[in-house]
Structure 1
Amino acid sequence: MGDDDAISTGTVVYADCVHCGEPSEYPESVKGITLCPVCEWHEAQRTACSG
């Protein structure tokens, strides 16, 4: 019972958000920083040009 079981059943294990720990929209196999939709939106607001 390991990663092979998840692949054979078609179940996708989603990575946890690095900020809040909620499930993200990205599988665990994705490299880099993973954010949930809420934190991703907040991050976009923080980094947007404030004019």
Structure 2
Amino acid sequence: MDQCEPTESYCPAPAAPARVVAGPPYADCLECGKPTEYGVRTPGVVLCPVCEWQEAQRTACSG
């Protein structure tokens, strides 16, 4: 997993899909099962806004 670039002021959320597909239908969160903002055909890990924020907090840069 890439670390923050020295010129960036934040780390991107690793759980955010690289290519977002619009819904409806919306995909279910892989953590809690609630609907997400992403269409069902969005590749990669899809999380609801709450779980996405929690994942970003867990993996945030410490420096």
**What TM-score, normalized to structure 1?**
0.73
Counterpart amino acid of residue 27 in structure 1: G
Question: What's the C-alpha RMSD, in Å, of the aligned pairs?
Answer: 1.3
2:25 to 2, 7, 13: 13
* 3-state SS of 1:15 partner: strand
Unaligned stretches of 5+ residues in structure 1 = 1-10
RCO comparison, higher one (Cα < 8 Å, 6+): 2
Q: Percent identity?
A: 63
Greater C-alpha radius of gyration: 1
Task: Name the SS of the counterpart of 1:43 in structure 2.
Answer: helix
Structure 2 residues not aligned, in runs of 5+: 1-22
Runs of 4+ in 1 over 2 A off after TM superposition: none
Which structure has the highest helix share of the two? 1
Aligned length: 41
TM-score (norm 2): 0.60
